[in-house]
Chain A
Amino acid sequence: MIKLYDYELSGDCYKVRLLLGMLRQPYERIELDLYPGCEHKAPWFLAINPLGELPVLDDAFVLRDAHAILVYLARKYDATSSWCPVDAEAMGNITEWLGVAQKLAATAGAARLHDTLFYEADIDRCRDGARRLLRLLDEHLWFAEQEGRDWLCSRGHPTIADVACFPDVMLCEEGGISRLPYPAVRRWCDRMKRTPHFCTMPGIFPARTDASPLGMKSLGQ
């Protein structure tokens, strides 16, 4: 059974939980008391990851770093090769956007940790940086829609690039960054939430699939 060293409110951990869910892979969560307990800096955990960071995956092979874990899980468990295709262009593209996801974590993610859990950060610089990235993301997604593509790197199916960018974008309002000026990003977030086997975390509400019990005939009243 895959083991995931994890913290509920961590965006990076959520990236891994999201993909594990969408890959339908069962796993055991080992939840650390990151806040306020600082358990990720405890000696027993530093022995597992000397960087003292979450998430860490143990699949009889220990891997740290959320994006590395996404690549590994997609290659190991996705028989369709949709989440991380191996052709050169796809891999290049995905890696490009994993780089953007890293920048989103350092800006929007850091702003969120500052605003919620008292992490130190140059908050204005983080927010400005996040807004620049969101602007870029909005342009990219808008033109993708015009070309019939629903996702960052691909047409009909999300990749790990989408999984990697989603949490820090979806939670950016917790860091004082509004999504109002980014309508294409908001549509992409809705599409992510409707992906089969999507799971939420605190701060993210699920899409609803129910129709109103009133039925269509109530329109026009």
Chain B
Amino acid sequence: MESRLLDRGMTQPAIEAVLWDDWHVVGEYDSVVRARRWSTLLLGVSVLLEADAAGGIVAYADAARIASVETRYGFVWVCLGTPARDIVELAECADADRWVASAGSVRVAVSGLRAVENFLDLSHLAFVHAGYLGEEPHTEITQYTVECTAEDGVLATGCRVYQPKASAAVCDGYDVDYIYAVLRPYIVVLYKANPVEMHRKDMIALFVQPVSEESCIAHVLSCYLKHGVEPAALRRFQQFIFGQDRPILENQLPKRLPLAPRAEVAVRADASSAAYRRWLSERGVRYGAIPA
């Protein structure tokens, strides 16, 4: 791991390049503009965002100007180092027949890696989100496929869960097909078949901002086909669902994600989380983790 020098000549505790040289969300654009000044932490570094009257954003890391600042998908993104690649590409957000709605940002007192893993998890839906994303006795998780690709991270397909109320658009229960894609260590996207246009998918993206190794901010983006849903309802539904996950996340011990294969018990239903932990290890992610 290399050390990084900021403009003021300070040495930053070494944070792995896979995180340091990547883009991270640090705030919801509308909230930052409304507040004019937005103070936050990213990878332990103080970040200040300043919005001018025209809605332009300038960012500082410990009083040094951050060169890499972008607004994308309704959020403000920064890179503390030199971006090794672009901000994640979410092609669906450009579709004219979709609502692209931020559900806001929520602080969570746990490593962001735990938050990503929770998003990938299927077997909690009938317990934590009972009556909405799952329901007893439909708790069985049938085998699904997980692959790791160098570009896409972790991809889980063929996931299927019975859901009594799968989205803001739906009244009846049915079996829902899910696809999960971990795009970055702290970014995960899920796709679920739209109830009206079954061959197309609604998308929810979770951009996790690693504040410290044991705390994060979860920024949620819904990208749903417009049939029968209003953006306000989408936002409410995502806040509701995330609000149910939060006490689980904040009651996990240890707060950092253990990467050793036998640190915590896994069963076959946990295939995507086991793959995610392996993938993080292989990419040298340590921040927010307990390395193997």
Contact = CB atoms under 8 A, between A and B. Distances in A.
Contacts of B174: none
A43 interface: no
A36 B247 contact: no
A117 B106 contact: yes
Interface residues of B, number: 25
A118 interface: yes
Contact of B109 (A8, A9, A35, A115): A115
B95 to A, nearest CB: 23
Interface string A173-203: 1101000000000000000000000000111
B232 A174 contact: no
Interface in A141-199: 173-174, 176
A176 B109 contact: yes
Contact of A36 (B102, B107, B130, B246): B102
A151 to B, nearest CB: 24
Contact of A33 (B232, B241, B242): B232
A31 interface: yes
B164 interface: no
Contacts of A8: 236, 239-240, 243
A216 B239 CA distance: 40
Given A115-B109, A173-B250, A36 B104 contact: yes
A9 B236 CA distance: 10
A205 B251 CA distance: 13
Given A115-B109, A116-B106, A116-B107, A36 B240 contact: no
Contacts of B3: none
Contacts of A33: 232, 235-236
B243 A202 contact: yes
B209 interface: no
Contacts of B240: 8, 202
A115 B34 contact: no
A138 to B, nearest CB: 21
B102 A174 contact: no
Contacts of A206: 130
Given A9-B239, A31-B236, A36-B102, A118 B250 contact: no
A36 B105 CA distance: 8
A202 B103 CA distance: 15
A214 interface: no
Contact of B244 (A116, A176, A203): A203
Contact of B247 (A9, A117, A174, A176): A174
Contacts of A35: 104, 239
A79 interface: no
A202 B30 contact: no
Contacts of B46: none
A36 B236 contact: no
A179 to B, nearest CB: 11
A203 B109 CA distance: 14
Contacts of A205: 128, 247
Contact of B28 (A36, A38, A176, A202): A36
Nearest to B233: A31
Contacts of B235: 33, 37
Contacts of A115: 107, 109
B12 interface: no
Interface string B93-117: 0000000001011110100000000
Nearest to B28: A36
Contacts of B106: 116-117
A174 B250 contact: yes
Given A31-B236, A115-B109, A202-B240, A174 B104 contact: no
Given A31-B232, A173-B251, A201-B243, 16 more contacts: A8-B236, A31-B236, A36-B31, A38-B34, A115-B107, A115-B109, A117-B104, A117-B107, A173-B247, A173-B250, A174-B246, A202-B239, A202-B240, A202-B241, A203-B244, A203-B247
Closest 3 A/B residue pairs (Cβ) = A202-B243, A36-B104, A202-B244
7 contacts: A8-B239, A33-B235, A116-B107, A174-B247, A203-B244, A203-B247, A205-B128
